[in-house]
């Protein structure tokens, strides 16, 4: 079996790797020296110590709320919006309290109404269809290919049916379909594009920032994303009318002049008494945590991609693993890695995931029968109208593994992780 030869020759032995992060012990029926990983592979992005002074000032002042009638100073949220607009090369940016809220507000600004259909990836996470349902619409899923990108032929067919006015394109786990072709299909059928960039902040495709292709884009600063404020979201667009609507809906009251990247006052006058206030603002405390992280993003991207390639290289030595190849036009951010284990049935896959977890490597498996932790799939969302068919997505997710990559990992850590994955594969196959 290719797997056993990879473990015995292609990867370093456990005794060479254990240091303070791995421990070796004799376990399993196959007689392998088992390795344990004792660090955490999913540590979030650390918040720079430089924020502590500003955070203390905000706490002592009590001004955590971004707006004020008695101040002329720019809030931390306003400053962050202006900085993010420069970073994303978008004219208008609004900061809100979560990415799910940003998706909801963007759908509202795009004119989605009760009873509408919204296209979205069949391979995505629950907050995406959740935002669609929150907007009163129904998700209509686009099939996923083996490389985790949307099937453009299926997208074309759905657009031709004239059932949806918006495609919420999730760059799920940082994988990109041909964005130019997607934009062309949607423009031809008058379908607006909302880019969900929760997993792709800092990435570009063919030299252009991801999030700069569609009509509007949403980003996340939830703890496990590329910027970390615990919770948070950003909405970026070049459309003044949508930006004004979002600013009012997010909860600016009539203090929209305090927003950092906003349209002119006359645009707001059209909507000031027409749009509901959903109270979805970002706080000054969150913005203070985020501002210095934006400057570190390019460095973090380099470090993530280095670790991604280390793990990818180890996985390539395992003959029972199918690597998802990256396109030549995508300059991605490798904060997580995905791979297929095609040679096992469901029972074996569950044993494999459990065995790896028992030795310190936690994999998300999208083929489980029930929603587990952060992992769920389109046919488990009872609040969404599940498409008939979608066999490609079902087959893709049945063998798909997903793992976060922490910046705290070093090269030896990455070798240990892939070694444990290989051992878990071998032990599982040996038991079956």
Same domain, 157 and 74: yes
- Kindly report the average pLDDT of the chain as a whole number: 90
Q: What is the pLDDT of residue 7?
A: 45
Give the CB-side neighbour count of residue 318, counting CA atoms within 13 A.
26
Residue 131: CATH number of its domain: 3.40.640.10
Same domain? 285 vs 393: no
Instruction: Place 387 in a pLDDT band, splitting at 50, 70 and 90.
Output: low
Residue 12 has pLDDT above 80, yes or no: no
Last residue of a domain, one of 293, 324, 358: 293
Same domain, 282 and 387: no
- Residue 383's pLDDT band, with cuts at 50, 70 and 90, is confident
**The pLDDT value given to residue 382:** 87
Q: How many domains does the structure of the chain reveal?
A: 2
Residues 7 and 117 in one domain: no
How do residues 86-102 score in pLDDT, each as one tens digit?
Answer: 999 999 999 999 999 99
Q: Are residues 289 and 336 located together in one domain of the fold?
A: no
Residue that is last in its domain, among 260, 293, 326 = 293
> Taking 70 as the threshold, does the pLDDT of residue 320 lie above it?
yes
CA 412 distance to own-chain centroid: 26
Comparing 27-36, 179-188, 308-317, 383-392, which segment has the lowest mean pLDDT? Answer: 27-36
Same domain flag for 266 and 385? no
- The mean per-residue pLDDT over the stretch 376-392 comes to 82
Position 29 pLDDT exceeds 60: no
Same domain, 286 and 347: no
pLDDT tens readout for residues 275-309: 999 999 999 999 999 999 999 999 999 999 999 99
* 72 pLDDT higher than 90: no
Question: Does 27 score more than 80 pLDDT?
Answer: no
Which of 277, 293, 309 corresponds to the end of one domain?
Answer: 293
Q: Residue 5 — pLDDT band, cuts 50, 70, 90? A: very low
Pure H helices in 34-178: 52-61, 76-88, 99-109, 127-134, 152-160
Is residue 28 domain-shared with residue 147, that is, in the same domain?
no
Q: At what angle do helices 240-250 and 99-109 cross, to 10 degrees?
A: 130
Q: What's the pLDDT band for 16 if we cut at 50, 70, 90?
A: very low
Q: Identify the domain containing residue 386 by its residue range.
A: 2-45+294-431
- List, for residues 108-153, the tens digit of each pLDDT value: 999 999 999 999 999 999 999 999 999 999 999 999 999 999 999 9
Q: Are residues 23 and 88 in the same domain?
A: no
Task: Please list, residue by residue across 58-80, b when 16 or more beta carbons sit within 10 angstroms of its beta carbon and e when fewer do.
Answer: beeeebeebbeeeeeeebbbbbb
Lowest-confidence pick of 30-34, 110-114, 172-176: 30-34
Contacts 24+ apart (CB under 8 A), 1-6: 1/319, 1/320, 1/426, 1/429, 2/318, 2/319, 2/320, 3/318, 3/319, 3/320, 3/422, 3/425, 3/426, 3/429, 4/426, 5/319, 6/317, 6/318, 6/319, 6/422
Residues 192-236: pLDDT tens digits? 999 999 999 999 999 999 999 999 999 999 999 999 999 999 999
Does 393 lie in the same domain as 249? no
Distance between CA 196 and CA 28 in Å, rounded? 43
The answer to whether residues 240 and 315 belong to one domain is no
Residues 6+ apart with CB under 8 A from 9: none
Q: Which residues pair with 22 in a beta bridge?
A: 37
pLDDT-derived band at 1, boundaries 50, 70, 90:
very low
CATH number assigned to the domain comprising residue 398: 3.90.1150.10
Averaged pLDDT, 426-430: 86
């Amino acid at each position: 079996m290719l797997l056993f030869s990879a473990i015995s020759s292609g990867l370093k032995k456990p005794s060479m790797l254990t240091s303070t992060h791995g421990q070796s012990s004799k376990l399993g029926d196959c007689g392998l020296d088992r390795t344990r990983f004792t660090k955490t592979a999913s540590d979030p992005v650390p918040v720079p110590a430089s924020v502590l002074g500003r955070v203390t000032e905000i706490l002592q002042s009590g001004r955590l709320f971004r707006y004020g009638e008695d101040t002329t100073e720019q809030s931390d949220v306003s400053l962050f919006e202006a900085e993010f607009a420069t970073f994303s090369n978008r004219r208008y940016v609004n900061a809100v309290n979560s990415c799910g809220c940003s998706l909801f507000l963007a759908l509202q600004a795009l004119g989605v109404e009760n009873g509408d259909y919204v296209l979205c990836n069949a391979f995505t996470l629950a907050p995406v269809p959740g935002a669609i349902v929150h907007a009163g619409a129904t998700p209509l899923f686009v099939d996923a290919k083996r490389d985790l990108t949307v099937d453009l032929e299926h997208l074309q067919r759905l657009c031709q049916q004239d059932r949806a006015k918006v495609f919420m394109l999730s760059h799920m786990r940082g994988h990109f379909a041909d964005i130019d072709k997607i934009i062309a299909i949607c423009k031809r059928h008058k379908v607006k594009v909302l880019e969900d960039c929760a997993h792709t902040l800092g990435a570009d495709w063919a030299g252009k920032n991801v999030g700069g292709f569609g009509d509007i884009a949403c980003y996340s600063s939830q703890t496990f994303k590329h910027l970390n404020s615990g919770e948070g979201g950003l909405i970026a667009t070049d459309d003044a009318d949508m930006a004004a609507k979002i600013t009012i809906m997010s909860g600016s009251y009539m203090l929209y002049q305090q927003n950092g990247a906003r349209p002119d006052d006359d645009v707001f006058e059209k909507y000031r008494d027409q749009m509901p206030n959903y109270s979805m603002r970002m706080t000054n405390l969150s913005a203070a945590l985020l501002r210095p992280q934006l400057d570190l993003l390019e460095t973090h991207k380099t470090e993530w991609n280095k670790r991604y390639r280390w793990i990818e290289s180890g996985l390539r030595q395992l003959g029972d693993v199918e690597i998802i190849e990256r396109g030549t036009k995508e300059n991605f951010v490798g904060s997580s890695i995905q791979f297929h284990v095609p040679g096992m049935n469901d029972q074996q896959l569950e044993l494999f995931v459990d065995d790896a977890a028992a030795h310190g490597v936690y994999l998300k498996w999208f083929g489980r029968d029930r929603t587990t932790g952060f992992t769920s799939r389109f046919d488990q969302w009872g609040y969404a109208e599940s498409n008939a068919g979608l066999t490609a997505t079902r087959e893709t997710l049945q063998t798909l593994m997903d793992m976060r990559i922490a910046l705290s990992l070093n090269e030896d850590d990455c070798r240990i992780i892939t070694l444990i994955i290989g051992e878990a594969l071998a032990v599982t196959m040996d038991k079956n």
